[in-house]
Structure 1
Amino acid sequence: MLNKQFDISLEQVEDEAWAAKVLSNYTVVDKTSALPRLKDIPATRKKRLVILKWLVSHFEQGANYREAKVNEIIKQFHPDCATLRREMIGYNLMQRESGIYWRQN
């Protein structure tokens, strides 16, 4: 049993290291704002999910956002806010109802 727990922890560490590498490959620090900017939207689903999880982390848990505010936040990181907003909904990282968005638990 102890070995199985160790294997799970090791797998989590490897997943986190891989996600960090994906983030570093797809982001660059913007010299004018000191914020990381997304260079590209990954084509592969697994890498795209890493980017979307990182992006959704910039939204407060439990807060409601109008679409304009969601776009404003996303545009800090990448100009294609419509695609990224739809992807966050599609991956169930955010929910939308009657023009109001919120971060999933």
Structure 2
Amino acid sequence: MTRATWQPRPDDAETLRRFFGKDGRLLTIPSKHVKKLVVLNQLAQAFEPGQVYPEREVNEILGRFHDDYAALRRYLYEEGFMMREGGRYWRAGGSVDT
């Protein structure tokens, strides 16, 4: 599994406005890969780099954004935004504020 590196694009803000409600919840999971990556990068921001999370906590955090937290967890892993081992997860990619 490779780490997801993220280069912000000019239309990312519009994508985020389109897929996230005013309450911060994800309205729908994008089917277009590029838009899904924008959303996954945003979700990855909920996890602190260097911190290890048990699966239960990952589910709780992602559940704040969308009811299908299992799909979000799987997409974050498959796209390299998170890594996992032995039921523990950590952030492995995405943009980082400096």
The residue type paired with residue 62 of structure 2 is I
1:104 aligns with 2:92: yes
1:28 aligns with 2:28: no
Matches within 5 A, 1:9-28: 15=9, 17-28=10-21
Q: Secondary structure at the match of 1:86?
A: helix
Q: Per-residue deviation at 1:29?
A: 1.8
Q: Which residue pairs with 2:73 in the alignment?
A: 85
Runs (4 or more) in structure 1 with deviation over 6 Å come to none
Q: Per-residue deviation at 1:48?
A: 0.2
Seq. identity, %: 41
**With CA pairs under 8 Å and 6+ residues apart, which has the higher RCO, 1 or 2?**
2
Q: For 1:76 and 1:29, how far apart are their aligned partners in 2?
A: 13
Higher strand share: 1
The residue type paired with residue 75 of structure 1 is G
Larger Cα Rg: Structure 1 or Structure 2? 1
Q: Per-residue deviation at 1:94?
A: 0.3
1:63 pairs with one of 21, 37, 51: 51
Q: Secondary structure at the match of 2:31?
A: coil
Q: For 1:28 and 1:58, how far apart are their aligned partners in 2?
A: 16
The residue type paired with residue 26 of structure 1 is F
Q: Per-residue deviation at 1:50?
A: 0.3
Q: Which residue pairs with 1:8 in the alignment?
A: none
Q: For 2:82 and 2:66, how far apart are their aligned partners in 1?
A: 18
Q: Secondary structure at the match of 1:22?
A: helix
